């Protein structure tokens, strides 16, 4: 009986998706094409499926603005901006190339991406390229998954130029990706014939709909070298994604110091510094940070903000010892929620060394 009901639900869902697809196609809303990138769809197989019933079209490439930074053993600390349109910098065709791709809400400035880059360069004399698509991987997740297709195409266009113009063996390229970046890697791999290897960290399984992009499922992978997916159960690979936006008031001109945030959730509480060093704050300024945590805090219920002005002599002369914050917004990337928190007793003046409590507005 249960199996019959389940089968009926599946049939009705697919039928509804087909009708929706026909309706959208009739209005020209399912597809968009971008010159060298080809065409993208919000219909099957990308969307209107059981695993992904709702999908959006990706933004134009110029809006997504994918950027690539090249690092080598001889330029280990300063990345060179490279592009298929301008220059490949000191990229060496005789050496293997590692392409690193971050995921949802992440950036290449997160501590562990430079650490991974350095680890590759210490282990092997190779080219390492960091892929920055942080202008297109934000909330809502459905838009980020759509934009991932274009980022994958960007990577493929760069790699294919290297292969065609310089006679490089495609097997010398290895894409290493995390989270939604693994889908990006899948889309890139679909467009690169003979790609050496993809390593996707903490990706979803084949039944969850976002596994390495719809073109590169475990059942359609091009051999072991093409798809090497791992499930890692500890940091920094499996993390909880939070984005914090802290808005200052207009009472004071500027200050500098440490901002300690304590996030209290339904499952756990954790304190984090807004920046590892001191933060410079301006009147009515907005500070946005990506906060990766190894602990799932659950639903965020309260945010405490502690302000500690920089303690040296110059700071005491030019930076205010008091500050105000109008609100804090916390985006939970994994739960797809965004909550704004306001001061407990309205906007208050926060003395250096003190803490203010923020509750949902």
pLDDT(23) > 70: no
Domain assignment present for 302: yes
**Do 125 and 258 fall into the same domain?**
no
Nearest to 143 by CA among 212, 54, 20: 54
Which of 127-131, 222-226, 247-251, 320-324 has the highest mean predicted lDDT (pLDDT)?
127-131
The mean pLDDT value of the chain amounts to 82
Measured distance CA(98)–CA(130) in Å, rounded: 9
Domain assignment present for 5: no
Question: How many structural domains are present in the chain?
Answer: 2
pLDDT value for 223: 33
Domain assignment present for 15: no
Q: How confident is the model at residue 138 (pLDDT cuts 50, 70, 90)?
A: confident
Backbone angles phi, psi at 289, to 5 degrees: -135, 145
pLDDT(19) > 50: no
**Do 57 and 203 fall into the same domain?**
yes
Domain assignment present for 49: yes
Residue recorded with tokens 């250096």: 352
**Do 285 and 169 fall into the same domain?**
no
CATH code, 131: 3.40.50.1820
**Do 100 and 183 fall into the same domain?**
yes
Domain that holds residue 338: 240-360
Percent of the chain exceeding pLDDT 70 equals 80
Length of the chain: 361
Q: For residue 328, give every residue at least 6 positions away whose Cβ sits within 8 Å of its Cβ, in sequence order, or none.
A: 244, 245, 246, 247, 261, 303, 305, 340, 341, 358
Mean pLDDT across 122-143: 93
Query: What is the reported pTM?
Result: 0.67
Measured distance CA(97)–CA(38) in Å, rounded: 25
Measured distance CA(345)–CA(174) in Å, rounded: 53
Region for residue 146 given its phi and psi (left: phi exceeds 0; alpha: psi -120 to 50; beta: otherwise): alpha
**Do 166 and 264 fall into the same domain?**
no
**Do 117 and 253 fall into the same domain?**
no
**Do 270 and 146 fall into the same domain?**
no
Contact call for residues 163 and 170 (beta carbons, < 8 A): yes
pLDDT value for 297: 93
**Do 131 and 56 fall into the same domain?**
yes
Q: What is the pLDDT of residues 256-279, one digit of tens each?
A: 999 999 999 999 999 999 887 788
Domain assignment present for 111: yes
Of the residues 200, 230, 260, which one is the last residue of a structural domain? 230
Of the residues 164, 199, 230, which one is the last residue of a structural domain? 230
**Do 221 and 250 fall into the same domain?**
no
Query: DSSP string of 193-206?
Result: TT--EEEEES---G
């Amino acid at each position: 009986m249960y199996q019959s009901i389940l089968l009926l639900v599946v049939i009705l869902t697919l039928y509804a998706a087909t009708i929706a697809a026909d309706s959208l196609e009739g209005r020209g809303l399912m597809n968009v094409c971008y010159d060298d990138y080809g065409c993208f769809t919000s219909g099957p197989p990308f969307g209107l499926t059981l695993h992904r019933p709702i999908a959006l079209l990706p933004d134009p490439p110029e809006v997504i603005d994918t950027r690539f930074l090249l690092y080598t053993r001889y330029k280990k600390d300063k990345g060179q901006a490279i592009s298929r349109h301008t220059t490949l910098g000191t990229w060496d065709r005789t050496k293997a190339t590692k392409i690193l791709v971050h995921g949802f809400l992440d950036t290449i400035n997160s501590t562990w991406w430079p650490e991974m880059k350095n680890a590759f360069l210490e282990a092997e004399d190779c080219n390492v390229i960091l892929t920055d698509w942080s202008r297109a991987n934000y909330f809502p997740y459905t838009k980020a998954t759509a934009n991932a297709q274009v980022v994958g195409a960007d990577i493929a266009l760069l790699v294919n130029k290297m292969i065609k113009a310089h006679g490089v063996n495609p097997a010398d390229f290895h894409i290493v990706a995390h989270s939604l970046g693994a889908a990006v890697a899948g889309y890139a791999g679909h467009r690169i014939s003979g790609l050496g290897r993809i390593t996707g960290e903490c990706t979803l399984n084949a039944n969850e709909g976002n596994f390495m992009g719809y073109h590169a499922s475990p059942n359609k992978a091009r051999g072991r070298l093409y798809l090497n997916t791992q499930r890692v159960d500890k940091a920094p690979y499996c993390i909880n994604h939070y984005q914090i936006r802290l808005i200052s008031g207009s009472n004071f001109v500027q200050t500098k110091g440490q901002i300690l945030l304590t996030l209290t959730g339904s499952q756990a509480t954790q304190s984090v510094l807004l920046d590892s060093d001191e933060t410079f704050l301006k009147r009515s300024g907005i500070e946005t940070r990506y906060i990766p945590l190894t602990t799932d805090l659950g639903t965020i219920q309260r945010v405490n903000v502690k302000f500690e002005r920089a303690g040296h002599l110059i700071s005491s002369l030019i930076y205010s010892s008091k500050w105000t914050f109008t609100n804090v917004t916390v985006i939970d990337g994994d739960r797809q929620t965004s909550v704004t928190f306001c001061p407990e007793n309205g906007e208050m003046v926060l003395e250096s060394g003190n803490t203010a409590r923020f509750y949902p507005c």
